[in-house]
Structures are given as structure tokens and as C-alpha cells.
Amino acid sequence: MLDRFKVPDDIAVRVAPDAMRATVTSLFTALGMSEAHAAQSADVLVYADTRGIDSHGVSNMTPRYVSWLKKGVINPTPQARVLRDTGPMVTLDGDQGLGLAVGPPAMDLAIERARAHGIGIVLVSNAGHYGAAAYHAHKALAHDMIGMSMTTGGVLVAPTHGAERMLGLNPIGIAAPSGKEVPFIFDASMSSVAGNKIALLNRVGGKVLPGWVARADGSPVMEEAPVPEGFMMLPLGGTREIGSHKGFGLMMLVEVLTTLLAGGGGGPLRRGDSTHYFAAYNVDAFNDVETFKADMDAYLRRLLDSKPAPGEARVVYPGIEEAETEADRRERGIPYHPEVVEWFRSTCESIQAKHQL
């Protein structure tokens, strides 16, 4: 994560991952979720914070998840049901549950089907926000599988040359197993920057970089500037000249493989809440697992050993910095903005949930 999104060290409040996990679990259960769903949801959020994906961590509790649960927008006790099952492919109805709760079991099901069929793909429609895409893809690694996860984000993005919000943020997460090297784990929105990171910028008083957002009239902001009123996100690439058509196409790809494939429409025409995509590829169905891991190790090591550009210290691939951040935050605690910590304390006390902050 870029430094401009981070909480300054001089004000950060360090919290042990287990303490935050217990606090979030208690808060979810106080809002009506089962202990199992609350613990699962908390694990997804703390995973993100521990690995430096702060835009998808526990700060989403305020005001998003708590408000949704209080207003009944999210079902606290969902019972996912099968809509279609063809063996390797399954479509589920998430019963309007939080994706943090109903998503991980769906990824587990994809892994189970991949073990039997070589590949498993599970769609979950009618479900709320599912956190960091990497969490779900990461689950496949322990099974010597490649994991992939996608979801429809909020319709906040203007298409290339457009002046209207027509596309979801639509992140993609991919994880591939390795042997000795840190696994490749990729997680990114197909917009120029994750939407939640704009909220982080506002919290720390930061500015957007060129090509991240457009003004309300659709004109791209091409200088470092405060977040404009009525802004729209731009596709990955920012403008056509530097490749926004590629981000635009990838966003459409995610819509096709999620909401449209599950029968829920696309973009501004979606019916219902988010649709999540979970896939597992069993390496053993395609190749010898040890050969694959050895080749991954060689490829990853070659990337790490490659020559850096002038002024740069090193080359890293997706997963390296997250692993380093995780090691640091497990030892020193997760750095939170004081406003976030105070919100947790006051909210837990107001609804009589236990906290360890």
C-alpha cells in the first residue's frame, strides 16, 4: 500500500491482531450474527489489516457493516442455498448474508470440487461485501491449488471517455502455490485505485494522484489534488492514452463472470446485491505438483534477482510486501488511526459488546 494511505506512525495506535479479531467477533455477535459467522467475518477483516490491505480491514465496520446490520440491509443469520449444481460448477444464493461470512465456505466448496474434478467454480449471488479478494484465493494454497476470486464492487467507475458511473470496482484476487519462495498472491481492484482507499485518503488528509478519479463532469483529474466533490473513479490506467481501456475491459470481464453469469444483470442494471466468484484449480490435474512448485520458485526467484530501475532498491512481485507487512504487524501490532480505535471502543460499549482495545 502506498505511503499516502498509511496512518502516520506518530499517531498510529498499535493493536495485536488477536485482540482486534476478538473485538470484531464480539461486535458482530452483539449485532445478531452467529458465533461462527462472526468469527469467520472477523478473520477476513483482520487478515486484510495484518497483510497491509488496510482499505479492506476492520475500518469497514464503521459505518458500513454495523449500519447494514442495524438497518436490516444484511441478514445476520444467512442460510446459503444451492440454485444449480453441475459437479465442478455451483451457483448459490447467499441469502443476503455478509460476504465475509458466506464467501469463505463457498471457496472451500470450490476447493472440494476441484479435488474431485480438477477445477471448481462457485458463484454466490445475493450477498454483501466479502472483504479482500486475496483472503479467498489464499485458501487454495494449503491444498496445492491455484485460487482465484472476483467480486462486483460498487458501481462507482466511469468507463473510458464516459461521464456516468457504469462499472463496478470489481477486484480480482489470485494465489499460486510455491515451494521455498513466498507465494504469488495478487489482489487489486480493476479501477485505478480501490474505492475504499479514497476513504482512507480523506481520513489522513491525503490527495489523489493523476488518473485516479474524474470530476463530476467526467473530466479526469490529471494532477495531484484533494478529492473533488462528486468524483467518479476511473478504470485501471486512468485515461485511454495510458491504458484505461484495459481496465475497462477487465471490469466488464468481472461483471460477465459474476452477476451476469449468475443471472443478475450487469453494472447499473444489476438485480440484487453483489455476486462473488470463487475458483480453485487443482495443480495435480494439470501437472506434477512438485514440478509446478519448483518452476514457480525459479520464476519468483528470477524476478526478485532481476535488476531494479534507477532509484529503486529492488523488484518485488505481488505477495512479498504483504508477507513482510504481516511479519511486522504480528510482532508489533496493526497500526490503526485513533479515530478507528475510538469508534470501536465507543460502539462496543454502546451495544454492550466486549472489546480488547
Could you report the per-residue pLDDT of 107-128, keeping only the tens digit for each? 999 999 999 999 999 999 999 9
Q: How far apart, in whole angstroms, are the C-alpha atoms of residue 161 and residue 169?
A: 17
3-state secondary structure of 174: strand
Residue-level pLDDT at 162: 96
Percentage above 90 pLDDT, the chain: 86
Question: Which residue type, as a one-letter code, is found at position 72?
Answer: G
- CA atoms of 151 and 315, how far apart (whole Å): 29
Q: What pLDDT is recorded for position 331?
A: 97
Residue 2 has pLDDT above 90, yes or no: no
Quickly tell me which residue has 505477495 as its cell. Answer: 319
Asked whether the beta carbons of 97 and 37 are under 8 A apart, the reply is: yes
* 85 has a pLDDT exceeding 80: yes
Percent of the chain with pLDDT over 70: 98
pLDDT tens profile 322-335: 999 999 999 999 99
pLDDT of residue 166: 96
Averaged confidence pLDDT in the chain: 94
Asked whether the predicted pLDDT for residue 48 surpasses 90, the reply is yes
Checking if the pLDDT of 216 tops 70, the result is yes
Is residue 197 over pLDDT 80?
no
Judge contact between 154 and 195, C-beta under 8 A.
Answer: yes
- ω before 63 within 30° of 0 (cis)? yes
pLDDT level of residue 357 (50, 70, 90 thresholds):
confident
Name which of 22-31, 35-44, 273-282, 347-356 the model is least confident about: 347-356
Q: How confident is the model at residue 1 (pLDDT cuts 50, 70, 90)?
A: low
Predicted confidence band at 352 (pLDDT cuts at 50, 70, 90)?
confident
Type and span of the H or E element at 81 = strand 81-85
Asked whether the predicted pLDDT for residue 234 surpasses 70, the reply is yes
CB 151 within 8 A of CB 277: yes
Q: Please tell me the class of the 3-350 domain.
A: alpha beta
Look at residue 72 in the predicted model and tell me its pLDDT.
Answer: 94
